[in-house]
Structure 1
Amino acid sequence: MSQETVEEFDHAMRSIYDAARKLKPPYHATYFLRMVNEHGGRETANRLLATNKPSEGFTELFLRGRENLRLSVEFLVLQKPWRDLFMTEQLAVARKRLIAVGCPLPADDGPVSADDDSGTDGDIVG
């Protein structure tokens, strides 16, 4: 995956933070933003997807309305082209969390095809 895509994902992670601040009432995910600032978007997503339970932010978005989960890391990583940054197991965690609370998956989420190299990036630590 190109460095440009990683940088664009970092921007997308900051964008979901900004969008959450515009909710009524606003949600200020300061811990999330601090993680993105310190570790970058990709590593932040790796860390959040590596836990056994959803983050406080995921829960907070859900409590504000299931439709707000479109602003979650779980929803974001399932979208193209971001899904190519993550391993199949990480995408499965994201999918499972969203399905568990009845959140529709992103329209462009789907099975990995044989010619798709999603999840084969060996430098991901999950």
Structure 2
Amino acid sequence: MAGMPDYIKKTGTAADNLDVLGFVALAPQDITIYAPAGKMDQATADKYIQEMQKMFTDSVFNFTHATMFYWGTQAAFSNLKLSDVFTDDGVKVANEIYSNKCMHTASDTFNFNYGSTFASLLKQNPSNTLA
């Protein structure tokens, strides 16, 4: 929708009555397709988030897409915090980078500053995974 301002202005569309506060540009696949069916318990949620983190830390590009998703999602849902998945340093870095850069320059910034250690910005054991 972000690239469709004329559509957003029309009435009788999916955008009716939406209070658009902003948009987050993302490109990774929808990770919810990997979520177990049905209601998750705490152990299943912990495992799911840890598996997603492993999946998206295979390259700095996938890491950037996933962490940009985390950054945008926590902005939309008050029960989520960056500190749920990022270390204290990771929260600071993510806020600095994603407040100012698009995905590709964010990826370059992670790569330049962290090299192959970019995943160290994520918690080993994420919290609040059930949310």
Q: TM-score, normalised by structure 1?
A: 0.30
**Highest RCO, 1 vs 2 (Cα 8 Å, sep ≥ 6):** 2
- Name the larger-Rg structure: 2
